[in-house]
Amino acid sequence: MNEQKLIDTAKTLVASDKGLLAIDESSPTCNKRFAKLEIPQTEECRRTYRELLITTPGLGEFISGVILYDETIRQQKKDGTPFVQVIAEAGIIPGIKVDMGAKALAGHPGETITEGLDGLRDRLYEYAQMGARFAKWRAVLTIGTDIPSRGCIEANAQTLARYAALCQEAGLVPMVEPEVLMTGDDSLERSSEVTTKVLQTVFQQLYTQRVMLEGMILKPNMVLPGSTCPQQASVEEVADTTVQCLLRSVPAAVPGIAFLSGGQSGELASMHLNAMNLRLRSRFSVGETLRLPWALTFSFGRALHQPALDLWHGKESNILAAQQALLHRANCNSAARQGEYTTEMDGTGA
């Protein structure tokens, strides 16, 4: 294992004021989003959409890495240039989603285990040959009555750790994504308690499986009340609760934390990221300056490119507008990394 190469890649992914663009939706998920907009659900449409995103002029100014899907990493621009080459030439690091999706966990109704370890070593070597330099795996945890169970948390944590160790062996930086869904009516406190438990278990397993923490990225959820919880939280409450949860769970050796957006609107995700980073430059509580050991950045899917998809609508004449929408969200989130995002940037300021 080339440790220094892994460390350098991980640091570059979370460096300065850039973040990551996740366009790794599986074909069925991408098709579902196309169907809502009546865009044909074909391989060519998925290719065209991803081409418009990665060829956005200036994208490399705000984006350090792009996460691709198996279909996408094998695709080319209309002129035949491989997507991986397009991304690298924009100064962006190509990455790949390598899990095979969340499946029902036996004996645990309502819970899932992410599959994809079988044959993973060979797939990782193939992706590395194709030019990928990091790889993502998503575990999904649901909050409900008596769940997530210990069995579900531990099975997913161990699976994440085994995938991460295999990535590092293949020279790929693992982007470890344990997503606690924020879709129910649970309180901010319950979301925080579950996210803390999940992250602590994940790091115990990463340590047990000998994953080099300096050569990985964590991709967690922000800590939010469930979307149907009657008591929603302020931006500051979400920021403080999320940072507290991370400080209690994530070792300082990890270079960066790149949040998923998890269905938040683009603006809200930017506001939350901004508030967290603002804490770096301001007083956390009277007389105490909070200094975070890791970079706090973004690895958003929907919160970065849903506006572009809505505008594109499958029409060539809308490509420019769609690219501008993507660049705008990338710019907003880059500002949020520095604590300099304002809602005026989105034209929604008070």
Q: Which residues bind ligand 13P (CB under 6 A)?
A: 22, 24, 138, 177, 260-262, 300-303
Residue 219 designated active-site: yes
| Residue 279 or 305 having the CB closest to ligand 13P | 305
> Min. distance of Cβ 298 from ligand 13P in angstroms?
8
Q: Which of 111, 177, 179, 267 is catalytic?
A: 177
**CA dihedral sign, ordered 202, 207, 210, 212:** positive
Shortest gap between Cβ of 113 and ligand 13P (angstroms)?
16
- Between CA 106 and CA 350 the distance in angstroms is 50
Residue 38 designated active-site: no
- Looking at the Cβ atoms of 24 and 51, the one nearer to ligand 13P is 24
Closer residue to ligand 13P, CB minimum distance, 299 or 323: 299
- CB within 8 A of 48, min separation 6: which ones? 78
- Rounded least distance, CB 236 to ligand 13P, Å: 22
One-letter amino acid for residue 218 of the chain: L
Q: Nearest CA to 56 among 265, 233, 308, 340? A: 308
CB closer to ligand 13P, 46 vs 138:
138
How many residues are there in the chain? 350
Under 8 Å between Cβ of 159 and 120? no
Tokens of 310: 């809505």
Give the CB-nearest residue to ligand 13P: 301
Task: Specify whether the CB–CB gap between 31 and 69 falls below 8 A.
Answer: no
Catalytic residue among 18, 97, 136, 219: 219
Query: Rounded to the nearest whole angstrom, what is the least distance from the CB of residue 333 to ligand 13P in the complex?
Result: 11
| Closer of 110 and 263 to ligand 13P (Cβ) | 263
Q: Where are the alpha helices (DSSP H) in the chain?
A: 3-13, 27-36, 43-54, 70-73, 83-89, 120-130, 150-169, 188-208, 235-247, 266-281, 302-312, 319-337
Contact 160, 205 (CB under 8 A): yes
Amino acid at 84: V
> In whole angstroms, how close is the CB of 300 to ligand 13P at the nearest point?
4
Distance CA 13, CA 135 (A): 12
Q: Any idea which residues carry the catalytic annotation?
A: 177, 219
